[in-house]
Every structure is written in C-alpha cells, then in structure tokens.
C-alpha cells in the first residue's frame, strides 16, 4: 500500500497567502510510490495542469463548502504526453515546407497581460505537446521565476532574454 502525504493549504488560502511554493516543496520531496493529497478551499485547476506536466494524474473531490481534496498519483512511463502525428503527414509537410527545420519546430506564446497563474498554465499546457528538439518561446510581463524553478525537474533547457521594456522572452527547448 502506498504512503499518503497530506498537505492542507486552506489556512494559507483563507489568509491570502500563496501556497504554491509550499505545494511544490512537498511535491519535490515525494518518493516514487507516495500519493499526494492536497486540501484546499478552491478547485486547484491550474495546479492540475502543472502536475500533469510533472507526470501526475490528479483527481478532485469536493468535500464541502470551500473544501476540496485533490489526490495526485505519479503516472508510470513518460513525463510528457505527446500528440501523435501521422508519419505520412509529417513526411509530406517536411517535403513541401520551405522553412528550415528549426523554424518548423518553433512555437510562440504571448503571455503578457495575463494574471497569474495563467501564463504558467498556458506554458505548461503547451510544453506537454512539445516534441524532442522543438522550441517554445514565451513572452511574459516579467521573468517567470516559478516556471523556471519547475523546469529543473523536466527535460527542458531554457534561456532568458530580458527586454528593454521590462518584459522577458524565455526560449524553452525539449531535450
């Protein structure tokens, strides 16, 4: 039987403290066979996306008014799920496409003007579909420090470009 690791962040949320760092610290300390159970006052929709990219399946259960219990279990196999493409379609795309390989494997997200956690959710969602050697460039209002911290645990290399207007472009490449 797997050991359950329980974290209750309802008090943090009720006192308007962001529990994200506490949650991620707990996630990083999980052993392979441990189950993570989170108690919160809200349905943690953005966290479900982040945890999926980290290789977890999440199930949310409403316990009562302003009480949700979310159970995360580590998936077996690959961290990222990929959209499969038809091999024939890929070959014809390569043959008929005048773009260089790096241009056909580059993607862009403009996250400027979005309230947290939307930039991170959008980025993590897009990273789920990134194939090996493909690059995603994101343009954010600021350097996404929480995102960069999370990338340490997955096969993504990144570089940060600070722009004169105070915004930042981050180039993320799946290795």
Number of alpha carbons in the 13 Å side-chain half-sphere of residue 85: 11
Tell me, yes or no, if the pTM score tops 0.75: no
> Which runs of consecutive H residues, i.e. helices, occur in the chain?
10-14, 20-29, 45-53, 87-96, 101-104, 118-127, 145-150
Residue pair 114/140 in contact by the 8 Å Cβ criterion: no
Query: DSSP states of 103-131 as a string?
Result: HHTEEEEE-TTPPTTHHHHHHHHHHTTPP
In this prediction, residue 85 carries a pLDDT of: 37
In this prediction, residue 5 carries a pLDDT of: 94
In this prediction, residue 154 carries a pLDDT of: 79
Low-confidence ranges of the chain (pLDDT < 50): 78-94
- Which domains does the chain show, CATH number per domain? 4-74 (3.30.110), 97-174 (3.30.110.40)
Determine how β-strand 106-110 pairs with β-strand 135-140.
parallel
Beta bridge partners of 110: 139
Look at the chain and count its residues: 175
- What is the dihedral angle through the alpha carbons of 74, 78, 79, 83, rounded to the nearest 10 degrees? -120
Q: How big is the chain by its Cα radius of gyration, in Å? A: 18
DSSP H or E stretch at residue 22: helix 20-29
Please give the Cα distance from 150 to 162 (Å, whole number).
19
Could you tell me which of 8, 53, 9 has the C-alpha nearest to residue 150? 53
Give residue-wise pLDDT tens across range 36-49: 999 999 999 888 87
DSSP H or E stretch at residue 90: helix 87-96
């Amino acid at each position: 039987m797997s050991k359950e690791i329980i974290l209750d962040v309802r008090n943090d949320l009720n006192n308007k403290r962001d529990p994200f760092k506490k949650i991620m610290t707990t996630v990083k300390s999980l052993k392979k066979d441990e189950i993570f159970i989170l108690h919160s006052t809200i349905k943690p929709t953005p966290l479900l996306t982040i945890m999926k990219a980290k290789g977890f399946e999440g199930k949310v259960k409403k316990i009562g008014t302003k009480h949700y219990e979310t159970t995360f279990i580590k998936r077996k196999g690959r961290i990222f799920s990929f959209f499969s493409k038809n091999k024939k379609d890929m070959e014809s795309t390569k043959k008929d496409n005048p773009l260089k390989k790096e241009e056909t494997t580059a993607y862009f997200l403009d996250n400027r003007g979005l309230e947290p956690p939307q930039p991170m959710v959008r980025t993590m969602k897009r990273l789920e579909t990134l194939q090996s050697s493909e690059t995603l460039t994101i343009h954010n209002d600021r350097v996404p420090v929480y995102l960069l911290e999370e990338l340490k645990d997955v096969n993504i290399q990144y570089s940060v470009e600070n722009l004169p207007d105070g915004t930042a472009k981050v180039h993320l490449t799946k290795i």
